[in-house]
Amino acid sequence: MSIIYHPQEYKIKDESMKNFIDHDEIIEILEATRNPTQEQVKTIIQKSLNKQRLSLFDTALLVNANDPTLVAEIKDAAKTLKQNIYGKRIVLFAPLYIGNLCINNCTYCGFKAENTAQKRTTLTSDDLKQEVTALEDAGHKRLILVYGEHPKYNAHFIAESVQTVYSVKHKNGEIRRVNINAAPLDIDGFRIVQEAGIGTYQIFQETYHRETYLKVHKSGLKRDYDWRITGLDRAMEGGIDDLGIGALLGLYDWRYEIMGLIRHVNHFEAVFNVGPHTISFPRIQDASGIEMDPRWIVSDEDFTKLVAILRLAVPYTGLILTAREPAHIRDEVLQYGVSQIDGGTNIEMRGYSKDDEQQNIDKEQFEIKDKRSLNEIMEELVDNGFIPSFCTACYRLNRTGEHFMEFSVPGFIKRFCQPNAILTLAEYLEDYAPQKTKTKGYQLIEKELEAYEDIHFKEKLIKRLEKIKKGKRDLYF
């Protein structure tokens, strides 16, 4: 078995790619947009509501808008855009940690090599099957597998763990989409992982600010900013066209990171004609043995504002929010355009199959704030009129770039996303929900059905719901 792990051999083919994050450009734009007028901000909000793409300059004007009434308008506009474009669906997933061996020393992470307090483990195939069984028994259909950076976790290892996850079927449970969050590979490595049938490959740049990047990545392969920033380009070349980008907020000024994220999106659109599927923007959480620079801690106020800005700036890219955030922040930003959240999360190694409520910071990467079970989250989403979705139809029917289609193909959400969300919700209600959630869930489904104007389509949907009640599974449009 060959080990695909030789970044030093990788040469960037096109030198201009190396510089798509232009520090001077970001600083100049942030300077030039200080103190925007009310009129400027309102014009940009309108531009976004008219479904026109915002430029980096437009985004910076929103970033620099500090007047509370303007911030409230930005948030209201994000709410409107979310309702108009995405409807009420929220996609649910769970993270699953495969191994916490790591050769890097990222100052912010509990898994860093020099943290000797961390208990190191890699799931065996049997461990993995047990974890997946527990996740299926809770109702999950979509997972993201997470790995430290280590020669052991090469492309073949990752591909094998993906295949193991897909092979586990328990009762009516199965995992229908496996996403990956792991260190960047070379092109051949990405090809191997792609062939295992992954959904999204996610790599966070952590900070787009090169100087800070070097400060917080003290040693190991991850210290190479250029290797990391070009990682997802290599993934594309290796055949993975479903990508997730992200910045870890709290390492440097969030304003700079938002500009970096938007530039990264623009880069994909310019080079590959398709943007990333998702953006993540985790805030640093407390972790075993970490160092943090208090200057860059992102307040709740700034955090909720930046989510709304991202929604307005890149309306067709999925926004992911994780259980790092407490329930009240999650509930607020769900309204501004977050489209995916995790539920019933446990990031402790072997955490899902062990029924242990207590978090142990020495066995996990960082502390999570939202410890609600998947069912508690499902019930709350339903109470708030959201339709929780486990849909994986687009990916399985090769309808890639689904967020793009959601945005650009008229009626896409009505024809596909909304009914598929309803069907996967019904599966959950039949197989996993306690009676109270089941009653509420079906009430929501009834309400949604009433709103369908296309009688022919509504009948089709009702027929499929009846089949689900009779035991049929995995139905989608």
**Strands 173-174 and 169-170, bridge-based pairing:** antiparallel
285 binds, among ligand SAM, ligand SF4, none (CB under 5 to 8 A by kind): ligand SAM
**What are 173's strand-pairing partners?**
170
- Decide if residue 365 touches ligand SAM (CB under 6 A): yes
Instruction: Report what 204 binds from ligand SF4, ligand SAM, none; CB cut-off 5-8 Å by kind.
Output: ligand SAM
Q: Which of residues 307-326 bind ligand SAM (CB under 6 A)?
A: 324
- Quick one: which of 212, 337, 216 has its CA closest to 281? 337
At which residue do the structure tokens 């510089």 appear? 19
Q: Is 334 one of the binding residues for ligand SAM (CB under 6 A)?
A: no
d(C-alpha 304, C-alpha 299), whole Å: 9
Name the burial class of residue 291, with classes exposed (0-12), middle (13-18) and buried (19+) by CB atoms within 10 angstroms of its CB.
Answer: exposed
The answer to the question of residue 198 lying near ligand SAM (CB under 6 A) is no
| Residue 95 touching ligand SF4 (CB under 6 A) | no
Per partner kind, with CB cut-offs from 5 to 8 A, the member of ligand SAM, ligand SF4, none near residue 166 is none
Q: Is 193 one of the binding residues for ligand SAM (CB under 6 A)? A: no
Tokens of 51: 């479904």
| Residue in 148, 189, 231, 343 binding ligand SF4, rule: CB under 6 A | 148
Residue found by looking up tokens 């009846």 in the block: 466
- The token pair at 211 is 């100087």
Q: Is 225 in the site for ligand SAM (CB under 6 A)?
A: no
Q: Which stretch binds ligand SAM (CB under 6 A): 36-44, 263-271, 284-292, 397-405?
A: 284-292
> What dihedral do alpha carbons 339, 186, 348, 288 form, nearest 10°?
-100
Site string for ligand SAM, 86-125 (x = CB under 6 A): ----------------------xx-x--------------
Strand, coil or helix: 217: strand
Interface with ligand SAM, residue 368, by CB under 6 A: no
Residue 57 partner contact from ligand SF4, ligand SAM, none using kind-dependent CB cut-offs of 5 to 8 Å: none
Alpha-carbon distances of 87 from 29, 298, 363, 380, 418, rounded to whole Å: 33, 29, 38, 17, 8
Does residue 222 interact with ligand SF4 by CB under 6 A? Answer: yes
Number of Cα atoms under 13 Å in the Cβ half of residue 435 = 0
- Residue written as token pair 């409807």: 87
Q: Which does 316 bind (CB under 5 to 8 A by kind): ligand SAM, ligand SF4, none?
A: none
377: contact with ligand SF4 by CB under 6 A: no
Is 382 a binding residue for ligand SF4 by CB under 6 A? The answer is no
Separation CA 432–CA 409 (nearest Å): 34
Q: Residue 87 or residue 220: which is nearer to ligand SF4 going by CB?
A: 220
- Which residue, 112 or 267, is less far from ligand SF4 as judged by CB? 112
Q: Is 138 in the site for ligand SAM (CB under 6 A)?
A: no
Q: Report what 60 binds from ligand SF4, ligand SAM, none; CB cut-off 5-8 Å by kind.
A: none
Q: How far is the CB of 286 from ligand SAM (least distance, A)?
A: 7
Q: Torsion angle, CA of 174/392/234/273, rounded to 10 degrees?
A: 170
Cβ neighbors of 188 (< 8 A, separation 6 or more) are: 4, 155, 238
Q: Which one, 72 or 214, has the nearer CB to ligand SAM?
A: 214
112 binding partner (options ligand SAM, ligand SF4, none; Cβ < 5 to 8 Å by kind): ligand SF4
Q: Is 283 in the site for ligand SF4 (CB under 6 A)?
A: no
**CA 225 and chain centroid, separation:** 22
CB of 31 to ligand SAM, least distance (A): 28
> Which residue lies nearer to ligand SAM by CB, 242 or 325?
325
**Whether 4 contacts 158, CB under 8 Å:** no
* 3-state per-residue secondary structure call for 272-299: HCCCCCEEECCECCCCCCCCCCHHHCCC
- Residue 30: both structure tokens together: 């942030």
The region of 38-46, 282-290, 375-383, 388-396 touching ligand SAM under the rule CB under 6 A is 282-290
Q: How far apart are CA 421 and CA 381, in angstroms?
A: 13
Binding site residues, ligand SAM, CB under 6 A: 108-109, 111, 146-149, 181-183, 203-204, 206, 248, 282, 284-285, 287, 290, 324, 365-366
Binding site residues, ligand SF4, CB under 6 A: 102, 104, 106, 109, 111-112, 148-149, 222
